[in-house]
Structure 1
Amino acid sequence: MTYNPRSEQVVVRCELPPREVVPTTASYRYLPTKDEIRDIPRKPREVAELYRSIVSQVALPCLRDLFNADPSLGSIGFNGHVPAVNPVTGEQEYPCILSLEVARDAFPLDGNLHRVQPEACVQGLKAIVSNHPYELEPIQPIIDFDLTKYKFVEGLDAVATLDTRPDLMDMSPTNFEHLVRQVSEAQGAEGWTTEQSKDDGVDAVIVRRDPLVGGLSIVQAKRYSKVVGVSHIRELAGAMEEKKAGRGVLVTTSWFASGCKQKAHEHGRIELIDGNHLVYLIKEHLGKDVLIGIPNRPRSASER
């Protein structure tokens, strides 16, 4: 687990019971003619339903004990993982099959917990549960424990520093990184700006809670006056691999060289935002008219 004192939140990675905790034998039958006892197996569906219930029954007491341990704890991010061996590769894996984020005031009071129906309670807490937990079908955690790999700084309100029709090239690189973070936050994500020179290849981290398109993304913000080449795509891809990030976003005040879009498309999890698109996003989500003072930069119709 890790604790963020600023948000009074603990993020926990919990090892859930393995599938073997569910007995696959439902009952036994004695056969007098053969003088033997024969196993009556449970139906596969019943085994799967029992395991889903067990997962919920383990998660709820863990959350209760954490809240009881520290009265100042405001919320918990909980990710339940199961150790397993991939039957195809033989590699050891640790899939996440249950994830939730819950505030103290949304969690059932200790005296009521023994009266809840575990699966219904977990569902009511807006948890994401694998569709097939017994098959160890993995899910994307709502809030990733691996956020602890980044070194964050206090968020700066870069939007407040923008005057009427400001030039983004007049911003400091640090303020530009905060601005990019705020654009993401205005679109419904949560964002953090990393410390300078502490996270090579990462300027910001954004998390989306949507179970369909959510996950953790790392951001590179380039306040450049010249073209951004394919090498920057490779740099971002390397940072994503190192940080185990699901997605990457490359934002620039300039434009991308030919071949960048194809490279990003081939990678499959990289988004490119050039100067024209950035101007649009700032206008659309932050309500600010900005310009980018780069000679000969291709401009959108809204900037002309």
Structure 2
Amino acid sequence: QEILENSYQDVRNKLAHELLSQVMNSSPEFFERLVVDLLVSMGYGGSRSEAGERVGKTGDDGIDGIIKEDKLGLDTVCIQAKRWQNTVGRPEIQAFVGSLAGNRARKGVFITTSRFSREAQEYVQRIEQKVVLIDGETLAELMIDHNVGVSDESRYIVKKIDMDYFEE
């Protein structure tokens, strides 16, 4: 069973790498739509079609998408999506936090295909607003976990002896 679990992890890691490559080859507009789809599939905003929207465009004030945190839309989560290869630093996070205030939001998710600098990670720990940072590796894992951009190819069920059945 350990061999099977290790093989599964290898297949999953390969899929995550291929998925991230596919995302990097997509347009910035597609990537912005993808992150909204992902957060809605994770349960934000309930099951309503208007639970999330892509707003990224010229003059978007640094916000690429908005997700309603609950079905009533009492609180919103602003999204910034960066399809980058370079590390995202503290200045980009500070600009995003400023955009939250401009949109009357207290929560945000900053998603990148790359990674975040240590300074950026430390900065979000100290600010009043709640900002979650999702790097490329985590993005690919979440996409796999929530079936965004992937589909089932095969399923395997591992059987074991049911000792209760054999009790006399």
Greater fraction strand: 1
Greater fraction helix: 2
| Distance in structure 2 (CA, Å) of the matches to 1:195 and 1:261 | 24
1:108-128 Cα offsets, whole Å, 9 max, x none, are: xxxxxxxxxxxxxxxxxxxxx
**What secondary structure, in the 3-state scheme, does the structure 1 residue paired with 2:146 have?**
helix
Structure of larger gyration radius: 1
| Contact in 1 for aligned 2:42/2:146 (Cα 8 Å) | yes
Give the one of 31, 34, 40 matched to 1:176: 31
Quickly say closer, same or farther: Cα 1:258–1:287, change in 2 above 3 A: same
Q: Which residue is equivalent to 1:266?
A: 126
Show structure 2 runs of 5+ residues with no match.
1-17, 45-50, 151-168
Q: Which residue is equivalent to 1:218?
A: 78
Aligned residue pair count: 124
| Distance in structure 2 (CA, Å) of the matches to 1:242 and 1:219 | 13
**What secondary structure, in the 3-state scheme, does the structure 1 residue paired with 2:79 have?**
strand
- Counterpart mapping for 1:83-232 below 5 A: 165=19, 167-189=22-44, 190-209=51-70, 215-232=75-92
Which amino acid in 1 is paired with 2:142? L
Query: Kindly, what percent of the aligned residue pairs are identical?
Result: 29
1:186-207 Cα offsets, whole Å, 9 max, x none, are: 0112210015113120000001
Confirm or deny that 1:246 pairs with 2:106. yes
Q: Which residue is equivalent to 1:281?
A: 142
Quickly say closer, same or farther: Cα 1:284–1:215, change in 2 above 3 A: same
Greater relative contact order structure (CA < 8 Å, 6+ sep): 2
Task: Tell me the C-alpha RMSD between the 2 structures.
Answer: 1.9
TM-score, structure 2 normalization? 0.68
TM-score, structure 1 normalization? 0.39
Cα displacement (A) at 1:287: 5.0
Show structure 1 runs of 5+ residues with no match.
1-163, 290-304
